[in-house]
């Protein structure tokens, strides 16, 4: 297993982790890769980006902020939680993705990108990458 570390820059940010996952896969052999985010205020997604889909990332960031408003009355702030919205946004994404490996490469589409989803940044975040 390989641990990747990222520095996020904004409270809500989708950060492209594809190149780093590809590099981790290149160092191992197997048929599938699982990418896991070990944080309760972050997530992982495979989504469109690149030519013809440049605005997708910004749209997703804004949509998650609008779907889960930080100004709501959050019950678990009474327990001392300072970032309740980030837990809910993370719950709308995923904690892991599993991707096939074909001929030593992750089998994602031409417009697909692996995103680390930050919901309580800026922070230092980890992704665990395991090849089986």
Short-list 11, 17, 14, 16, CA closest to 86: 11
CA distance 90 to 120: 10
Global pTM value: 0.95
Q: What is the pLDDT of residue 76?
A: 86
Enclosing domain of residue 45: 2-131
- Looking at the structure of the chain, the number of domains it has is 1
Confidence of residue 92 (pLDDT cuts 50, 70, 90): very high
Short-list 36, 45, 35, CA closest to 89: 45
Alpha-helix residue ranges (DSSP H) falling in the chain: 18-26, 56-67, 84-91
Short-list 39, 16, 48, 30, CA closest to 112: 48
Q: Answer yes or no: is pLDDT of 78 > 90.
A: no
Q: Answer yes or no: is pLDDT of 129 > 90.
A: yes
**pLDDT tens-place string over residues 9-37:** 999 999 999 999 999 999 999 999 999 99
Q: Answer yes or no: is pLDDT of 105 > 90.
A: yes
Q: Average pLDDT, whole number, for the chain?
A: 96
Instruction: Kindly state the DSSP code that residue 27 receives in the 8-state scheme.
Output: T
Burial of 52 (C-beta count, 10 Å sphere; 0-12/13-18/19+): exposed
Q: Looking at residue 36, which CATH number applies to its domain?
A: 2.60.120.460
Confidence of residue 56 (pLDDT cuts 50, 70, 90): very high
């Amino acid at each position: 297993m390989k641990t990747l570390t990222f520095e996020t820059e904004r409270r809500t940010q989708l950060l492209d982790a594809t190149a780093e996952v590809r590099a981790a896969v290149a160092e191992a052999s197997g048929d599938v890769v699982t990418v896991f985010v070990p944080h309760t205020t972050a997530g992982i997604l495979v989504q469109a980006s690149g030519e013809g889909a440049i605005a997708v990332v910004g749209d997703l960031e804004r949509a998650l902020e609008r779907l889960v408003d930080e100004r709501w009355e959050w019950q678990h702030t009474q327990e001392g939680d300072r970032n309740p919205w980030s837990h809910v946004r993370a719950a709308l994404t995923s904690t892991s993705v599993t991707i096939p490996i074909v001929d030593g490469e992750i089998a994602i589409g031409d417009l697909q990108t692996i995103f680390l989803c930050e919901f309580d940044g800026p922070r230092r975040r980890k992704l665990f990458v395991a090849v089986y």
